[in-house]
A = this chain, B = another copy of it.
Amino acid sequence: MKKNIIIDSDNPASQVDVAKLAGVSDMTVHRVLSNHPYVRESTRRKVLEACSALNYRPNLLASSLRTKKSYALGLIVAPLKVTYFARLVDSVEVAASDFSYHTIVVQLQKGSSAKKQKEELEFLLQRQIDGLIVATVVDPEVSEYLLSESIPVISTEDPIKGFSWIGSADLQGAYEAVSHLIRLGHKKIAHLAGNYPLSYTSKQRLEGYKHALTDAGIDFSQELIVHEGWTQEDGYSGVLKLLDNGIKFSAIFAANDYVAVGAMLALYEKGIKIPDDVSIIGFAGDSLGQWSIPPLSTVYQPIEEVGREAVELILKQCNSGRKKQVKISYPTKLILRSSCANLRFHIENA
């Protein structure tokens, strides 16, 4: 007597439903779907037919529960209105999805408390993420806490003790940028240097700046360094501060393109011409500076490469179980546009 086949058409079909329709066990269905070798061709066909007849769609949640792999990565960033982070999310998401992983993004507002940060982390961990990319500065208490968890973690910002770091070669990039300004004859080069106390990133860029000066035999002068922050507002106010204090400079190395753009507006409003009176170089290389007036020279950061490598390394660690610590930096690239020019003597002599 043929068994009665009852399939609830309200709910989406499961492997069991497919199995019933195809007249095989659910395990066989699973074998077909996971390309197990030991399945007779005729069986495979039957199963696949049943799948499409029922519009079967695998339930990744159930799979995750069973295999203890969520196929999800966590990504902690600063708010996406900062294009740097948007670009990073972009690249991480694309890379992850190439491996059938999805990304759960958590944005940490600036100045969020350690408690809040821990909650966000918990949010990710409850979702059983297989790995975590930390792309913005987190409280030491939080990174400490991460060590006790058994998932792979990679940082792309401040290095975290015990975990791998992937980022761009900021020191070298800053060195090249400042060296270029020096080659153009500039000696009084202001540096709009991001937040204080300095994050790893700011430090690297400041170091590169100093190295370039040193190698060119130019004395470092603290008064040319302005610590305001990372935004356009900060660049704007930074320039005003320099001018108000009567600091002389013929070039600016900005900690990023936002700061540079803000600085440019301040200079513009003060009637200071770029690059005639002041040359300026930013850091980031996103489209922002490409369309500024004049177009901004900048240090291109290989964000796409960083994002992809972070994903691939995490997944490697997921699969191998080992957690070899590495530190990889991708080279930056100096992009010259029209915001830099040779030092004009009349300014230098002024």
A90 touches B79 (CB 8 A): yes
List residues of chain B with CB within 8 A of the CB of A286. 81
List residues of chain B with CB within 8 A of the CB of A64. 61
Stretch at the interface among A161-169, A217-225, A241-249, A290-298: A290-298
**A199 lies within 8 A of chain B by Cβ:** no
**A59 lies within 8 A of chain B by Cβ:** yes
A93 to B236, CA, bound (A): 30
What string of 1s and 0s marks CB contacts (under 8 Å) between A81-100 and chain B? 10100110110011001001
Q: A86-B86, A90-B79, A262-B291 are in contact. Are A123 and B104 (CB under 8 A)?
A: no
B128 touches A59 (CB 8 A): yes
From 229 to 268 in chain A, residues with beta carbon under 8 angstroms from any chain B beta carbon are: 232, 236, 258, 261-262, 264-265, 268
A125 touches B65 (CB 8 A): no
A80 touches B70 (CB 8 A): no
A interface residues, tally (CB under 8 Å): 50
**Contact residue among B79, B86, B127, B261 (Cβ-Cβ distance under 8 Å from A61):** B127
CB of A185 to closest CB in B, whole Å: 25
A93 touches B65 (CB 8 A): no
List residues of chain B with CB within 8 A of the CB of A81. 83, 86-87, 90, 286-287
**A318 lies within 8 A of chain B by Cβ:** no
A264 to B291, CA, bound (A): 9
List residues of chain B with CB within 8 A of the CB of A295. 265
List residues of chain B with CB within 8 A of the CB of A290. 232
List residues of chain B with CB within 8 A of the CB of A89. 80, 86, 89, 105
What string of 1s and 0s marks CB contacts (under 8 Å) between A148-170 and chain B? 00000000000000000000000
B292 touches A293 (CB 8 A): yes
A268 touches B288 (CB 8 A): no
B59 touches A62 (CB 8 A): no
List residues of chain B with CB within 8 A of the CB of A329. none
B291 touches A265 (CB 8 A): yes
A286 to B82, CA, bound (A): 11
CB of A217 to closest CB in B, whole Å: 35
A126 touches B287 (CB 8 A): no
CB of A291 to closest CB in B, whole Å: 5
From 66 to 83 in chain A, residues with beta carbon under 8 angstroms from any chain B beta carbon are: 70, 79-81, 83
Shortest beta-carbon contacts, A-B, top 4: A86-B86, A80-B90, A80-B86, A232-B291
Beyond A60-B128, A265-B291, 11 additional contacts (C-beta under 8 Å) are: A59-B126, A80-B89, A81-B83, A81-B287, A83-B86, A90-B107, A94-B107, A97-B106, A102-B127, A264-B291, A265-B293
Interchain Cβ contacts under 8 Å between A and B, 14 examples = A57-B126, A59-B128, A61-B65, A81-B286, A90-B107, A93-B107, A97-B106, A232-B287, A236-B291, A258-B291, A264-B291, A264-B293, A265-B293, A288-B288
